[in-house]
């Protein structure tokens, strides 16, 4: 079979078209250099070869192609870097959520003024010292009671503020975080359908894929995900791309969140403490609880702050969340009340001990805590006051109590406020047994300072980790941009390259035209 005389013009025409389309793709890249999420595009081409097109007088293997064929327009992406970026996004989401929680707690417990709990504890000791100097003065007893009330008000305020942080984070998890996550899943499923329909019509839908990739990156900040692309055969050798998205928990169980246009759901139960997280896969299986197996992401970071209490958990957990500071404060308050109430006991005429508590619970069905403590009613009503001394010195005579002072009990209270002691958190375990956890040794003032210091350590460590993760994710993003991002220098080189190839193709067509003109008009004219 003889090759067509005009085959060279086809080759030149295809070359012109390919160079022209390449210039258009380059222009598209340059136009979108500042478009968020845009992925650099390229023209896909291949050599065009048609069987049976060899010369009749040539060796069968001496075949010449028919030019260049445009096979499509594709995006430049590295799946490995996409996976690494999304993995780092999940880790960043965990730390970011934890730091946000610590910052809320720091606004409560990090006292930077002179009207906080530390000042109130010092003032209580000072008022007791004045009472010791004036042991029979009801006025100074009233001043001690007023100082105690100020301290209790601060305890109440801190307990309320901690509760409000818990409520805010709970509402944010239920009403914002989980809803936004499910909305992202729905949007990705809708884009999957739009992309498939566009590809059926012959449109590569690259801009829709950019939009979908942005949503997938955002989804990765909530929980660890993986993606799988597969070809769906529509028949007659025509395929379209479909996307599956999976969530894998820390136990290795994999849940399919999205399969093409089918979508699963994440749900949360915050009616009880601790908060519970559930997943329903895109096939409707579930809900399955994943509270303790969520892995990295914003969901894990928020649940850690809400549910974990560090050393107070059984077994101890790796995160000191709101519960740690609530329980530390409750233990401080309960120990303070127990200590001063114990020292304020007296004896009746028969020598039997009599309780004259200075503090009592607001709700008698619950133990004393930062939120559940008040000045004892009988002390507030003046039925009794601070027990000045438990030593009886009748008519000023020494007797068996020689050496006792009239203010010895008040001095014991002052000493008790500054003395080191073991602070314990008491609780009832699942078997109903009473348990205690030692968490600090020191005085009351330093116990609160220790809470501040631990929170500052947690916050500083969280911020340092956050900075490190941001650095890592920026490096990964730079690597992605080196492949997927638009470079003006590179696109400028492409402009020159494709402009020269266009000119060369045009020159090829001119040369072929001149050769054909010579063949037609310059041959077979001898003897005319």
Tell me the helix, strand and coil percentages in the chain, rounded to 5. 55, 15, 30
- At 391 the pLDDT is 58
- At 463 the pLDDT is 94
Q: Which stretch of 157-161, 171-175, 238-242, 459-463 has the lowest confidence by average pLDDT? A: 238-242
- At 362 the pLDDT is 94
- At 11 the pLDDT is 87
Distances (CA, A) of 118 to 81, 221, 443, 445, 449: 51, 39, 11, 6, 8
pLDDT confidence bin for 239, thresholds 50/70/90: confident
pTM as predicted? 0.84
In tens, the pLDDT along 5-53 reads 677 788 889 999 999 999 999 999 999 999 988 999 999 888 887 655 4
The three-class DSSP label of residue 362 is coil
Angle in degrees, CA 427, 428, 431, rounded to 5: 155
pLDDT confidence bin for 57, thresholds 50/70/90: low
**Among positive and negative, which fits the CA dihedral 124, 126, 128, 134?**
negative
Return d(Cα 139, Cα 127) in angstroms, integer: 11
Residue 71 has pLDDT above 90, yes or no: no
Would you say 415 and 443 are in contact if contact means Cβ atoms under 8 Å apart? no
259 has which bridge partners? 244, 262
Question: What is the widest separation between alpha-carbon atoms in the chain?
Answer: 162
pLDDT average, residue stretch 105-118: 82
Two tokens, residue 143:
């001043």
Cα dihedral 320→325→330→332 (10° resolution): 100
| 521/49: higher pLDDT | 521
- Give, for 374, the enclosing helix (H) or strand (E): strand 374-375
pLDDT confidence bin for 72, thresholds 50/70/90: confident
In tens, the pLDDT along 503-519 reads 999 999 899 888 888 87
pLDDT average, residue stretch 292-317: 92
In tens, the pLDDT along 402-430 reads 334 567 889 999 999 999 999 988 877 77
In tens, the pLDDT along 436-469 reads 888 889 999 999 999 999 999 999 999 999 999 9
Phi, psi (rounded to 5 degrees) for 439: -125, -10
Contact partners, residue 425, CB within 8 Å, separation at least 6: 312, 327, 328, 330, 331, 436, 437, 439
Residue 424: Cβ-neighbour burial (10 angstroms; 0-12, 13-18, 19+): middle
Q: For the chain, what percent of residues have pLDDT higher than 70?
A: 91
In tens, the pLDDT along 335-369 reads 999 999 998 888 777 777 888 899 999 999 999 99
pLDDT average, residue stretch 478-495: 91
> What number of other Cβ atoms are within 10 A of residue 476's Cβ?
18
In tens, the pLDDT along 198-228 reads 888 888 889 999 999 999 999 999 999 999 9
Residue 286 has pLDDT above 60, yes or no: yes
pLDDT average, residue stretch 139-160: 93
- At 136 the pLDDT is 77
- At 52 the pLDDT is 53
- Give, for 267, the enclosing helix (H) or strand (E): strand 265-269
Distances (CA, A) of 138 to 26, 128, 130, 148, 346: 90, 12, 12, 15, 18
Long-range contacts: 512-516, Cβ < 8 Å, 24+?
512/8, 512/9, 512/12, 513/9, 516/5, 516/6
44 has which bridge partners? 72
Residue 395 has pLDDT above 50, yes or no: no
CB-hemisphere CA count at 13 Å for 479? 13
Distances (CA, A) of 231 to 67, 79, 82, 238, 330: 29, 16, 20, 9, 59
- At 417 the pLDDT is 92
| 188/526: higher pLDDT | 188
Residue 276 has pLDDT above 80, yes or no: yes
Two tokens, residue 198:
């566009």
- At 213 the pLDDT is 93
Return mean pLDDT, the chain: 87
Return d(Cα 211, Cα 208) in angstroms, integer: 5
Two tokens, residue 248:
């894998």
- At 403 the pLDDT is 38
Residue 305 has pLDDT above 90, yes or no: yes
- At 50 the pLDDT is 66
């Amino acid at each position: 079979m003889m090759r067509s005389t005009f085959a060279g013009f086809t080759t030149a025409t295809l070359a012109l078209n390919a160079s022209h389309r390449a210039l258009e793709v380059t222009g598209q890249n340059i136009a979108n250099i500042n478009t968020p999420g845009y992925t650099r595009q390229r023209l896909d081409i291949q050599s065009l070869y048609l069987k049976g097109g060899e010369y009749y007088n040539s060796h069968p293997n001496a075949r010449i192609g028919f030019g260049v064929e445009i096979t499509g327009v594709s995006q430049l992406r590295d799946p490995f870097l996409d996976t690494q970026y999304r993995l780092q996004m999940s880790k960043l989401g965990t730390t970011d959520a934890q730091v946000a929680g610590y910052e809320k707690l720091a606004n409560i417990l990090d006292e930077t003024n002179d009207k906080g709990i530390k000042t109130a504890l010092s003032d209580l000791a000072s008022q007791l010292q004045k009472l010791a100097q004036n042991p029979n003065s009801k006025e100074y007893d009233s001043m001690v009671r007023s100082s105690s009330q100020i301290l209790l008000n601060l305890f109440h305020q801190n307990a309320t503020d901690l509760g409000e942080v818990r409520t805010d984070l709970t509402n944010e998890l239920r009403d914002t975080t989980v809803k936004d996550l499910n909305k992202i899943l729905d949007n990705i499923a809708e884009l999957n359908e739009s992309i498939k329909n566009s590809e059926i019509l012959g449109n590569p839908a690259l801009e829709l894929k950019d939009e979908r990739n942005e949503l997938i990156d955002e989804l990765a900040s909530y929980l660890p995900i993986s993606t799988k692309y597969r070809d769906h055969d529509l028949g007659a050798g025509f395929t379209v791309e479909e996307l599956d998205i999976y969530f894998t928990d820390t136990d290795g169980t994999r849940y399919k969140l999205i399969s093409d246009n089918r979508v699963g759901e994440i749900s949360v139960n915050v009616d009880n403490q601790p908060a519970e997280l559930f997943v329903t896969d895109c096939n409707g299986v579930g809900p399955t609880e994943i509270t303790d197996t969520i892995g990295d992401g914003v969901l894990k970071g928020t649940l850690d702050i809400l549910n974990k209490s560090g050393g107070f958990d059984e077994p101890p957990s790796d995160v000191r969340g709101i519960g740690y500071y609530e329980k530390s404060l409750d233990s401080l308050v309960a120990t303070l009340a127990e200590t001063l109430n114990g020292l304020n006991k007296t004896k009746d005429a028969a020598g039997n001990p009599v309780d004259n508590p200075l503090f009592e619970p607001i709700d008698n069905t619950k133990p004393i805590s930062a939120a559940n403590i008040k000045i004892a009613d009988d002390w507030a009503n003046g039925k009794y006051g601070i027990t000045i001394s438990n030593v009886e010195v009748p008519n000023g005579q020494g007797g068996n109590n020689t050496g006792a002072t009239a203010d010895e009990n008040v001095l014991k209270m002052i000493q008790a406020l500054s003395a080191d002691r073991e602070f314990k958190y008491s609780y009832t375990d699942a078997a109903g047994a009473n348990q205690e956890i030692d968490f600090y040794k020191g005085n009351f003032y330093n116990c609160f300072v220790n809470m501040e210091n631990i929170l500052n350590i947690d916050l500083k460590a969280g911020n340092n980790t956050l900075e490190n993760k941001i650095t890592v994710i920026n490096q990964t993003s730079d690597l992605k941009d080196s492949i997927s991002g638009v470079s003006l220098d590179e696109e400028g080189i492409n402009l020159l390259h494709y402009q020269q190839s266009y000119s060369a193709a045009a020159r090829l067509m001119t040369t072929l035209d001149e050769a054909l003109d010579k063949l037609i008009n310059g041959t077979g004219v001898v003897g005319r």
